[in-house]
Structure 1
Amino acid sequence: MEFDQLRYFLQVCQHRSFTRAAEALGISQPALSRSIQKLEAELGQPVLERKNRSLDLTAAGTLLRSRAQQILDLVEDTAAEISDDGRTGRLRVAAIPTIAPYFLPGLLKAFSTKYPEANLIVQEQTTDDLLRSCSQGEIDVGFLVLPVSARYLQIEPLFEEELLLVLPPDHELLSRKQIRLSHLQPYPFVLLSEAHCLSDGIISFCRQRSFQPVMMERTSQLAMVQELVSLSHGISMVPEMARKLDRSKRRVYRSLSGTPPKREIAMIWNPYRFESRLQKAFLQQVRDHVQESATPDRRRAQA
């Protein structure tokens, strides 16, 4: 039994498809099939139940998936621990799409300046994929929005940020000195697709206050939400960090009066995996970066 066979098998388990697993691995589908067949021959029984349109694990396959992940994790952690010098090595970081382009650039620049020999790998993932990747050791540190259900993962809240109302510059609501949630009821919303937790947070905030927003359009990128608002397709709410990087004059941001909607940003990692000195330095860099970037109000709240 070879390490590559175990890696290939785990990819098939993840994708439930030889075609998609082969694409992810960068090998041909026949080569992947031969590797799994050889593995089954060595074990003396099938690990996959092949159906017309899907693959299921046999009892042997379920056991092998658990043990294969443990074996590969142990090998990877051992190699990382032996070569851990606190300066070099690979660090895999992931964030959800409504955090990554706004929070990560400044953080990664500061870390790369301090640790120029480190190899940083950055990904954007939805919350569910990020949690899975962190649990399986595919990423070292992740950034997402609370609350999440995450067993066996370390979660460290970092800060809260307001969700701001975004409007086209000629919108009639801008004539009001204060804009309340109830004032938004007649207007359609532009939101992100269901895969993004930001939309869930906005809808939940509205429903808790007996207001069901009417969705006019959904899109997959926050920048497109902002552009559609500029074109008067609707109104929306966006994180404060997105407003800070927006230099456009074709949209206006306002706080809702009363208790405005907020979201809580957190970082997560797997405490059961080996934590390199580089990873520990990155976690501290995040804390320092958040503290340095904090507004006076947030600093007082953290004190």
Structure 2
Amino acid sequence: MNRDVNLRLLRYFEAVATELNYRKAAERLYVSQPALSVAIRQLERQIGDRLFNRDTHSVTLTAIGRDWLPHVRSALREVDAAIDVVADLVGNAEVRVGYLTGTGADLLFELLDGVEEVLPEMSIVTTEFDFGDPSAGLASGESDIGLLRPPVDVPDLESVVVEEESWVACLPRSHRLADRAELRIEELLDEPIIVAPESAGRWRSYWMADDARGSRPAVVAAEAATYEAETTLVARGVGISFTTSSLERLYSRPGIHIVPIVDRPASYTALAWRAGRLSAPARQLLEFMLRRIPNSTGPQS
């Protein structure tokens, strides 16, 4: 057996073992599915046996894969903990904050206002994420803290609501319903719709209003990963989209019209993090940001 197994391959194995689906694991890791398959085969060659049984319909762990998985997970937790410890020891107080496009302009910098005075040694790196990753980097580990709009496909997520918004329909100005004062979701379900990329998972389904469709499939007109792309497609008449009321304030442009949808539950913007995965500096920053949220009552699952 070749004992020179690198950490990347162990993370790939853990992701496939958790998802039991190469496509979902590849999306979670932000790699291509062929690259993930090659990496797993490389790992299997290095350990000298198969880790997965694969056919065209399913992926299952072999006996060796099943018995090895808890040891790999334990090792990955130890490595992550060791990295956090050494970061603290050398004074590396960098914290990565991700935010979903459309949320940072109004909220992120309010939550960070004054942080330089309270935590002067901390280095904060902020990164905007598009609709392809609505977890704002939390799913991949690129972010320690995220400002996002649930729901997202992230295990062990904790969050606190920062803001509540209502649903709106974004329509071409020439659309037959564009002059309405308000709409109900049922009136819009047969319309061609602009949707997020497939990698958005549950978030894409949520903003397609799949819960209201029953057996009626959505007519997907196009995909868009940013509000700029989405509103451009709507203005061109390619389709409509469902979004939040802040769109009118942040991304209004000629060619679109925003109409409130009155019978949808509220959409929330939340400050989020993964339980047990915060370094000491990240916990400090999170506590600072939580104190900036009016009426915050602490973490919510």
- Identity, % of aligned pairs? 17
Q: More deviation in 115-124 or 241-250?
A: 115-124
Q: 2:209 aligns to what?
A: 203
Aligned partner (choices 199, 223, 240) of residue 235 of structure 1: 240
Preserved CA contact (<8 Å) 1:145 1:266 = yes
- Distance change in 2, residues 1:236/1:6 (3 Å): closer
Q: How does 1:60-139 map to 2 (within 5 A)?
A: 60-84=64-88, 88-94=92-98, 100-104=100-104, 107=108, 111=112, 114=116, 118=123, 120=125, 122=127, 126=133, 133=140, 139=143
The residue number in structure 2 matching 1:179 is: 182
- Asked which structure has the greater CA Rg, the reply is 1
Distance of 1:188 and 1:51 partners within structure 2 = 39
Structure 2 runs not aligned, ≥5 long: 17-21, 296-301
Aligned Cα RMSD in Å? Answer: 4.8
Corresponding residue of 2:145: 141
Give the corresponding residue for 1:282.
Answer: 285
Q: Name the SS for the 1:233 alignment partner.
A: coil
* Distance of 2:39 and 2:179 partners within structure 1: 65
Query: 1:270 deviation in Å?
Result: 2.8
What is the letter of the counterpart of residue 118 of structure 1? Answer: S
If each structure's helix is expressed as a fraction of its own residues, which one has the higher value? 1
* Alignment partner of 2:267 out of 263, 266, 269: 263
Q: Is the 8 A contact 2:149 2:267 kept in 1?
A: yes
Residue 48 (1) aligns with residue 54 (2): no
CA contact (8 A) 1:194 1:200 kept: no
Secondary structure, aligned partner of 1:84: helix
Native 8 Å contact 1:46 1:58 kept in 2? no
Aligned equivalents of 1:102 and 1:235: distance in 2? 18
C-alpha change, 1:62 and 1:242, in structure 2 (3 Å) is: farther
Comparing 74-83 with 122-131, greater Cα deviation is found at 122-131
Structure 2 residue 201 is the aligned partner of structure 1 residue 190? no
Residue 163 (structure 2) aligned to one of 153, 159, 162? 159
Distance 1:215 1:78, change over 3 A: same
Q: Deviations over 1:8-39 (max 9, x none)?
A: 2332453659xx89x78xx9x9998666544x
- Counting matched residue pairs gives 271
Measured in 1, the distance between the counterparts of 2:210 and 2:54 equals: 40
The whole-number CA distance in structure 2 between the counterparts of 1:55 and 1:215 is 31
2:3 maps to 1:5: no
Unpaired stretches in structure 1, ≥5 consecutive residues:
292-298
CA distance in 2, matches of 1:46, 1:110: 50
**Contact 1:167–1:235 at 8 Å: present in 2 too?**
yes
How high is the TM-score relative to the length of structure 1?
0.64
Distance 1:180 1:147 in 2: 23
Superposed CA offset, 1:120-176 (max 9, x none): 37455546897754xxx6643344444568664423333221122222334443444
Q: Displacement of 1:89 after TM fit?
A: 3.4
